[in-house]
Amino acid sequence: MSPQHSGAERLPFTETPLPGIDPAWSTVLTVASTAPVEPVAGRRRRWHVLDNREQLERAGLRPRGVILAVHGNPTWSYLWRDVLRAAAHPQRPWRVVAVDQLDMGFSERTGLFRRLEDRVHDLGDLTAALGLDDAGLPVVTLAHDWGGLISQGWAQEHPAIHAATVLTNTAVHHDNAEPIPSALRLALNRAVHEPLTSGSTAFLDTTLALCDPAASKEVKRAYKAPYGSRERREGIAHFVADIPAPEDHPSHAAYERIAGRMSAREVPTLLLWGTGDPVFQQRYLDDLMRRAPHADVHRFEGAKHLLPEARDIATPLFTWLEERFGDAEPVVETHREQRARGRAAFVPFFAELDARRRDDSPAVVDMGPVAATVDGSAPALDVERSVSWAQLSASVDQLAVALLRTGVRPGDRVNLMVPPGSMLTTLIYACLRIGAVIVVADQGLGRKGLTRALRGSSPRWFIGIRKALVGARALGWPGTRIAADALDPVSKKLLGVAHTVPELMDSVTTVNPDEIPAVDPDAEAAVLFTSGSTGPAKGVVYTHRQMAGMRDTIRDTYGLRAGTGLVAGFAPFALLGPALGAASVTPDMDVTSPRTLTARALAEATMAIHASAVFASPAAIANVLATADELSPAERDALARVELMLSAGAPIPEELLTRLQELMPAAELHTPYGMTEALPLTDVSLDVIRAAREDAQAGVEGAGGGVCVGTPVEGAELGVLPLRADGSVSPEIVTTPGVTGEIVARAPHAKDHYDRLWITERASDETPGWHRTGDVGHFDARERLWYEGRLAHVITMSDGPVSSVAAEHAAQTVPGVGRAAVVGVGPAGSQSAVAVVETDPPASAPALASAELSERVRATVEFATGLPVSAVLVIPEHPTDIRHNSKIDRAELSDWAE
């Protein structure tokens, strides 16, 4: 029987309005059923599908292929309306067949309990009846919820036409060692199963609530339209009852077969995932990634179960399809082929430990709390522990073997939540030596940020101090738990700890080097998380080769050689000391709060290893200067002998660097520009900053209008993508003086990729071979780069785009003004600039600035930059990222100012 179409304003099956549905898509057809459940073979069943075939034919469009969209429980084909609408694009048309499974949506209520095997047969019957099996077009399955398992069953029965898989928040297998999600356990409980699933709309309502942002009332009514009675909800009840996790379940064999075969045939796969789904949790995504390790994966932070309802999945879906079945160049793959590669032979990140096995000089020093001095003139050094190179090398080998014997394998992700010091150093290098992947998400991300980061990166192992283990237990952080320190048996049990590092170390009495595998230079080595200052922290993946490239770049740029003493007052640099062959020490401070670094703590750490180099964040430097009066003469002498001072993370005003130079008169002060994705990219010294300021005053082309961050480091190339009038960027890379645009970079030590963020990775690779940084800046005539802020913070005014940094620096020169942020308020294209400033003394509450202060800020900014400021607001303290305490959240300020 040929399909029949509904041409009415509404579908004839319901009086409920269905927002977003084109009635022309609605198709009804009868299909002979081969499902085993049918009492009579060939029984004809009435199906409803949403199909855009006739729409494409009327437009004269030949589809590239067919998307077979399969919903789960308790939704229907309405879930895919945005995909249907986007599929008719004239440049990349696709036919979409979105099914209503039998007993679901507006398809027939058969009165039979259709199990997994039946539903796989049903889908095959339907595609045959629609002519998809012999249409000569590739079929891409798109599925959600339990539609994922059913679509995979269909795909395995149709290998000749199944061309790709797209899955959203689903599962194909459940590990019976784990409990099934609590919501499903409740719905399966015999006492409440029927009342929750078919006897009421409770299960349906709960599902529709799993949408962030929430679906409108009209959309919720549309989802509920096919399920208005107990009889019409029988399919919902049966779907729940057919969850085949138990081994004695009637559908268990089919479920195991489908899951087992998924790895057997590799097809292009895209996994789109809502991270806040309480049902299809991260563990199910992990399982899918193990079965399809080649898959492209994107996690939508905060999205819940109804991902296709809450997020735009159509745009990335068709972008991905066009790169695989159309004419579009695959951006990520092309970028990988064209990105920079180092010329030098690969030397492992941990090579210095091998080279210095017999060196008894200090490698890592752990500092204790800064004590009060006895006579006010001499420091009371408190060195808790000093580990020599020979000891460190032996400990790393011993722990590496212990981890291997415990079950840690190359490629396993190991989350390390241990403060900087000798223990963390040993753990990092032991993991890297055996090819395990270190996951570094510092506590500065906060509880929510840490939980998001750790669950998303799926470490198999978790090594932490007691405080971290308590957090892991309470918040459900993943990974087999290993305590960094010794624990008594009761504590181990309470915290769910499987091993302790001391136990592991004691278990290895001899080290056989043959036990330790050689590392693959191009295998993953680390997942480092961004600070989260511009949204949820992103995992940035580095290979062993790229980590070695970072080490080599820093070594060559700053002349750091074996034997250098290095104070790591900035947590990310704590892991670099041993790689550089530098003795390293972390000062007494809370590394999650850089502002806790005092001048005395810095001086004592410097004295402990006779350090000649110091790394610290801008916020740490500010507090060092604020507490410099507490220094004893001996401590001042120690800082006066420092030869190199590096600070990265945010721009530093020249005035602050000048004051720092007075404290460290022998030091070269450098403020490299870079990011978690590539550090460093440029280098600039205080002398160059001063010369750049003089050039700006002298009118050198391009000089001024931002923060001078210097010239590219060895091996790095930089350019900009010029800003258009609407704030978007042009595709061509330029280095023309004075042209503002998005900064792009290429370097051998740049990231490998963003972790499980395919959409984000693709956006950063859109200029193949180059990393799009999301920063804006320009070059001057002397080839120096001037940083102007973030692309997302560009103010789009009626006369064009304006970056904020130059205006902020001008505002900060007004007496009584501390840090300043200039943000855009109003609709894009006609925004006004608003200055939000901290004051000295601090304001007691957010408010409009006084008329006098407002006038001074406005006049100063306009004179320096030409930017008219429409309003000036005061705030007690800017919202900043926790890691640096210096990256101002301008998006939050803009929302508040508006």
CATH of the domain at 289: 3.40.50.1820
pLDDT band at 256 (very low <50, low <70, confident <90, very high): very high
Amino acid letter, residue 151:
S
Is 594 contained in some domain?
yes
Give Cβ neighbours of residue 72 (< 8 Å, ≥ 6 apart): 143, 144, 145, 146, 147, 148, 170, 239
862 and 772 share a domain?
A: no
Domain that holds residue 806: 794-898
In this predicted structure, what is the pLDDT of residue 409? 98
Distance of CA 23 to the CA centre of its chain: 39
User: What gap in Å lies between CA 82 and CA 378, rounded to an integer?
Assistant: 71
Q: In this structure, what CATH number is given to the domain that contains residue 775?
A: 2.30.38.10
**Residue 8 pLDDT class (50, 70, 90 cuts):** very low
Pairwise CA distance, residues 836 & 872, whole Å: 6
737 has which bridge partners? 779
Strands (DSSP E) found in 424-538: 437-440, 461-464, 480-483, 497-500, 524-529
For the chain, state the CA radius of gyration: 30
What's the CATH number where 834 sits? 3.30.300.30
| Judgement on whether residues 118 and 166 belong to the same structural domain of the protein | yes
H/E run at residue 580: helix 576-580
Instruction: Kindly state the tokens that stand for 589.
Output: 């401070």
> How many domains are contained in the chain?
4
Residues 578, 690 within the same domain: no
Asked if the structure places residue 343 within a domain, the reply is no
Q: Of 326, 342, 359, which marks where a domain is finished?
A: 326
Distance CA 159, CA 165 (A): 12
For position 31, what pLDDT does the model report?
98
Question: For residues 141 and 162, is the Cβ–Cβ distance under 8 A?
Answer: yes
Least confident of 257-261, 559-563, 569-573, 638-642: 569-573
Residues belonging to the chain? 898
Report the C-alpha gap between 709 and 773 in whole angstroms: 15
**Residue 344 falls inside a structural domain:** no
Write out pLDDT tens, residues 664-703.
999 999 999 999 999 999 999 999 999 999 999 999 999 9
Phi-psi region of 35 (alpha: psi -120 to 50; beta: other; left: phi over 0): beta
Burial class (CB in 10 A: 0-12, 13-18, 19+), 429: buried
Strands 668-670 vs 644-646: parallel, antiparallel or unpaired: parallel
Do 416 and 544 have their domain in common? yes
3, pLDDT greater than 80: no
Does residue 855 belong to any structural domain of this protein? yes
Assess if residue 763 is contained within a domain: no
Contact between 852 and 889 (Cβ < 8 Å): no
Tell me: do 647 and 583 sit in the same domain: yes
The percentage of residues in the chain with a pLDDT greater than 90, rounded to a whole number, is 80
Is it the case that residue 9 has pLDDT exceeding 60? no
302 and 387: one domain? no
Cβ contacts of 250 within 8 Å, gap of 6 or more:
115, 242, 244
Q: What is the 3-class SS of 726-764, one letter each residue?
A: CCCECCCCECCECCCEEEEEECCCCCCEECCEHHHHHHH
15-24: average pLDDT: 94
E strands, 755-806, in order? 771-779, 785-790, 795-797, 800-802
Identify which has the larger pLDDT, 381 or 240: 240
pLDDT band at 890 (very low <50, low <70, confident <90, very high): low
Whether residue 873 is contained in a domain is answered as yes
Residue of higher predicted confidence among 650 and 475: 475
Q: How confident is the model at residue 215 (pLDDT cuts 50, 70, 90)?
A: very high
Reported as a single tens digit per residue, the pLDDT across 486-526 is: 999 999 999 999 999 999 999 999 999 889 999 999 999 99
In DSSP terms, which residues pair with 437 in a beta bridge?
413
Neighbours of 690 (CB within 10 A): 14
Residue 884, pLDDT score: 47
Mean pLDDT (whole number) for 780-791? 96
For tokens 């000569």, name the residue.
136
Rounded distance between C-alpha atoms, residue 664 and residue 671, angstroms: 15
Higher local confidence (pLDDT), 230 or 245: 230
Phi-psi region of 390 (alpha: psi -120 to 50; beta: other; left: phi over 0): alpha
Residues 817 and 782 in one domain: no
For 467, residues 6+ apart whose C-beta sits below 8 A from its C-beta are: none
Express each pLDDT in 374-433 by its tens digit: 454 444 567 889 999 999 999 999 999 999 999 999 999 999 999 999 999 999 999 999
- Average pLDDT for the chain: 93
Q: How far is it, in rounded angstroms, from Cα 495 to Cα 790?
A: 42
- pLDDT (average), residues 94-109: 99
Looking at residue 652, what is its pLDDT? 85
Q: Is residue 557 part of a domain?
A: yes
- pLDDT tens for 278-307 read 999 999 999 999 999 999 999 999 999 999
Amino acid at 391: Q
Please say whether the beta carbons of 463 and 484 come within 8 A: yes
Contact criterion met (CB below 8 Å) for 415 and 462: yes
- Extract the runs of DSSP E, i.e. beta strands, from 87-172: 95-100, 139-145, 162-170
Q: What CATH number did the domain enclosing 427 receive?
A: 3.40.50.12780
Sorting pLDDT into bands at 50, 70 and 90, what band is 120?
very high
For residue 628, is it within any domain? Answer: yes
Which segment of 312-326, 410-424, 803-817 scores lowest on mean pLDDT?
803-817
In angstroms, the CA 714 to CA 555 distance is: 11
β-pair partners for 28: 4, 48
In terms of domains, do 259 and 375 share one? Answer: no
680 upstream amide cis, omega within 30 of 0 = yes
Beta strand 565-569 with 383-388 is unpaired
Coil, strand or helix at 330: coil
Whether residue 513 contacts residue 534, with contact meaning beta carbons closer than 8 Å, is answered with no
Q: Are 720 and 696 contained in the same domain? A: yes
Structure tokens at 331: 């951006």
Distance of alpha carbon 421 from alpha carbon 383, whole angstroms:
12
The residue whose two tokens read 């006066």 is 640
Instruction: Judge whether residue 892 has pLDDT over 90.
Output: no
Residues pairing with 614 in the sheet: 567, 645
Q: What is the rounded CA–CA span in Å between residue 112 and residue 39?
A: 9
As a whole number of angstroms, the distance between CA 805 and CA 787 comes to 8
Instruction: Output DSSP code: residue 513.
Output: G
pLDDT of residue 374: 45
Answer for the pair 789, 567: CB distance below 8 angstroms, yes or no. Answer: no
Same structural domain, 857 and 816? yes
Which residue is listed with tokens 């922290």?
A: 537
The reply to whether 602 and 621 lie within a common domain is yes
Q: Is 389 in the same domain as 531?
A: yes
